[in-house]
Amino acid sequence: MRLFAVILFWGIALSIVAEIPESARSRVAVERHAPALKTALQAKTLQLGSPVFIRVFKRTGKLEVWIQNAAQTYSLFKIYDICYFSGNLGPKTKQGDMQSPEGFYYVTPGQLNPWSRFHLSFNLGYPNAYDRYHGRTGSALMVHGDCVSIGCYAMTDKKIEEIYTLVESALRNGQPFVRVHVFPFKLEDNKLLLYSGNKWIDFWKNLREGYQFFEKYKVPPNVEVVGGRYVFEFDEI
Sequence-distant (≥ 6) Cβ neighbours of residue 52 within 8 angstroms: 65, 66, 67, 68, 166, 167, 170, 175, 178
181 is known as an active-site residue: no
- Choosing from 33, 83, 119, 152, which is the catalytic residue? 152
Cβ count near 1 (within 10 Å): 10
Please, what is the angle between helix 157-172 and helix 24-42, to 10°? Answer: 80
- Choosing from 119, 144, 147, 181, which is the catalytic residue? 144
Three-class DSSP labels, 13-41: EEEEEEECCCCHHHHHHHHHHHHHHHHHH
144 is known as an active-site residue: yes
d(CA 90, CA 71): 35
d(CA 6, CA 78): 29
φ/ψ (deg, to 5) at 145: -95, -160
d(CA 212, CA 220): 10
φ/ψ (deg, to 5) at 217: -105, -15
d(CA 47, CA 92): 34
Q: Annotated catalytic sites, by residue? A: 144, 152
